[in-house]
């Protein structure tokens, strides 16, 4: 069966420090991968998605970047964190395919607090 792992679960970082969050998927090949942020309140904001190695699409301009160095690995990074980067970060995957009835599957999230 497919699984998705995110780490770390919780992270406290000072303003101006770098960031690296990692997400890996097991049990599938060539997935579409996604990074979301859930800020204060409950809404989800899509940050990046990737349809293949080295292919990254950004949804919103921001202080963050994403990379996909391997097929099932997705990394969210920042060179200098801002207070506004605080939030709950979620990684998700879905099967590559031509049918729209496939859901996205989410990791357990990383709670990021910027001090």
Chain residues that interact with other proteins, rule: CB under 8 A:
6, 32, 41-44, 46, 49, 51, 57, 90, 92, 94, 96-98, 100-109, 111
- CB 76: neighbour CB atoms within 10 A? 22
- Which residue, 15 or 60, is less far from other proteins as judged by CB? 60
- Which residue, 73 or 104, is less far from other proteins as judged by CB? 104
Q: How far is the CB of 55 from other proteins (least distance, A)?
A: 9
DSSP character string of the chain: --EEEEE-SEEEE-TT--EEEEEEEES-SS-EEEEEEE-SSS--EEEEEEEETTEEEESS-SS-EEEEEETTEEEEEESS--GGG-EEEEEEEE--SS-TTPPPEE---EEEEE-
Q: How far is the CB of 90 from other proteins (least distance, A)?
A: 6
Q: How far is the CB of 73 from other proteins (least distance, A)?
A: 18
- Which residue, 62 or 105, is less far from other proteins as judged by CB? 105
- Which residue, 26 or 108, is less far from other proteins as judged by CB? 108
Reading the block at residue 35, the tokens are: 């990074």
Q: How far is the CB of 16 from other proteins (least distance, A)?
A: 27
């Amino acid at each position: 069966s497919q699984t998705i792992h995110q780490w770390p679960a919780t992270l406290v970082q000072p303003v101006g420090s770098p960031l690296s969050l990692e997400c890996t998927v097991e049990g599938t090949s060539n997935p579409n991968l996604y990074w979301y942020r859930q800020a204060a309140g409950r809404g989800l904001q899509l940050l990046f998605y990737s349809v293949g190695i080295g292919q990254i699409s950004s949804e919103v301009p921001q202080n963050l970047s994403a990379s996909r160095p391997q097929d099932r690995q997705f990394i969210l990074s920042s060179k200098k964190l801002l207070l506004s980067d605080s939030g709950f970060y979620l990684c998700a995957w879905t099967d590559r395919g031509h049918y729209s009835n496939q859901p996205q599957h989410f990791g357990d999230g990383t709670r990021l607090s910027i001090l």
